[in-house]
Amino acid sequence: MGNYRFILSGGGTGGHIYPAIAIANELKRRFNDAEFLFVGAKDKMEMEKVPQAGYKIEGLWISGLQRKLTLKNLMFPIKLMSSLFRARNIVKKFKPDIAIGTGGFASGPLLKMATSSGVPCVLQEQNSYAGITNKLLANKAKKICVAYDGMEQFFPEEKVIKTGNPVRADLVNIQVDKKEALDYFGLHSDKSVVLVLGGSLGARRINQLIEKELNFFKELEVQLVWQCGKLYYEDYKKYDSETVKVKSFLNKMDYAYSASDIIISRAGAGSVSELCLAGKPTLFIPSPNVAEDHQTKNAEALVKEDAALMLKENNLETEFKTLYKELMNSKERQNILAKNIKKMALPKATEHIVDEIEKILK
């Protein structure tokens, strides 16, 4: 046993890639002789991140549909046909025992071709509002692992299993103490710390807000760890100082979470799952520019449990300062939010997903 062949696909954003890598790592731990192949979209970040994690990847010529009529949309049928043809050849050549999809453009053609070749397939849906790729693939999947309640509205009920979202191993049990984390960033222990997260590429609107409110934070004697994203680092690095630490990317997320008192973040599925484990009072500013507005729905699922606060982008100018001050000045409110968000954590998500994969293999 153990000479299994696993094919995995998910990409476009870190939210689809990191779960796929976490699942592969756990499968490798259990089946050390297994073979792995990832399939991604040719020009997306998985082509860099997956090899960095030590896995082989093949690229498909695929991209999503744009919301308005563009040349890219006119190319979509050609790209889709090309990707289906290539995916069929990849499946035929690799002969996987099981296919695992974590969402994103490339997983559509791959899992469609895997299931039509008789390969069992498992889907992992990170968001509280299912993505279009997973909805299209649901009928052929053996199991669909989800992170939120109520996902039967999108998928056949008998296939749905709530496991949570896989997160990076160093975040499942954060061991870094606060003093060590503050020293790492060069911050003072007598002032509070706000951690600002815009996702791996950064969030333009959040960056604009932080830039505009730097004096407001200074007046309140608040220190910032500001992850502005690699697309925006050149614009904002000039603000790096003793009390404002501007980073394009945070390599040590466990240190960042340990150092922080309050977190301001986008509401991508991976971020939400990590923040539940971190257990800190969080203000979500969801991106309105994502498919089916799923970030807002992810944040709302926590707000409903009094586990986080949410502010929409179009209310930032009028409501941010008041909301932030109220939270900062109420230790009781901070404690309630921290306790409730921690309750929503599912730290064994990766293991539970791999348990389901094992059952299918047997």
DSSP 56-108: -EEEE---PPPSS--HHHHHHHHHHHHHHHHHHHHHHHH--SEEEE-SSTTHH
Q: If you search the block for the tokens 């982008």, which residue do you land on?
A: 313
Percentage of the chain exceeding pLDDT 90? 72
Distance, CA of 264 to CA of 244 (rounded, Å): 15
DSSP code, position 174? -
Which residue, among 43, 41, 5, 38, has the nearest Cα to 19 in the 3D structure? 38
Tell me if 13 is assigned to a ligand binding site: yes
Average pLDDT score, the chain: 91
Looking at residue 68, its pLDDT comes to 56
Residue 86, annotated as binding a ligand: no
Is the CB of residue 318 less than 8 Å from the CB of residue 360? no
Asked if residues 112 and 88 have their Cβ atoms less than 8 Å apart, the reply is no
Tokens 């690799």, located at residue? 94
3-state helix, strand, coil in the chain (%, to 5): 50, 15, 35
Ligand-binding site membership of 15 (annotated): yes
Helix axes 331-343, 316-329, angle to 10 degrees: 100
Give the 3-state secondary structure of residue 3. Answer: coil
Exposed e or buried b per residue across 250-269, where buried means at least 16 C-beta atoms within 10 angstroms of its C-beta: beebbbbbbbbbbbbbbbbb
**pLDDT (average), residues 27-31:** 95
Rounded to an integer, the average pLDDT of 218-240 is: 96
Q: How many CB atoms lie under 10 A from the CB of residue 26? A: 20
pLDDT in tens, 250-276: 988 999 999 999 999 999 888 999 999
> Does 192 count as an annotated binding residue?
no
* 215 is annotated as contributing to ligand binding: no
Q: Residue 362: how many CB atoms within 10 A of its CB?
A: 5
Taking alpha carbons only, the member of 278, 271, 333, 275 closest to residue 306 is 333
Provide the pLDDT confidence category of residue 72 given band limits of 50, 70 and 90. low
- Poorest-confidence range of 64-68, 81-85, 161-165? 64-68
| Distance in angstroms (rounded) separating the CA atoms of residues 192 and 32 | 45
The average pLDDT across 169-192 equals 90
| pTM of the predicted structure, to 2 decimals | 0.84
Is 14 among the annotated ligand-binding positions? yes
- Please report, as a single letter, which amino acid is at residue 173: N
Q: In angstroms, rounded to a whole number, what is the distance separating the alpha carbons of residues 45 and 133?
A: 18
Pick the CATH number of 170-343 from 3.40.50.2000, 3.50.50.60, 3.40.50.720, 2.40.128.50: 3.40.50.2000
pLDDT at residue 65 tops 60: no
Give per-residue pLDDT as tens, 108-150.
Answer: 899 999 999 999 999 999 988 888 889 999 999 999 999 998 9
Instruction: Please tell me whether 200 is known to bind a ligand.
Output: yes
Q: How confident is the model at residue 238 (pLDDT cuts 50, 70, 90)?
A: very high
| CATH 3.40.50.2000 domain position(s) in the chain | 5-165+348-361, 170-343
What CATH number is given for 5-165+348-361 in this structure? 3.40.50.2000
Mutual angle of helices 331-343 and 269-278, in 10-degree steps: 110
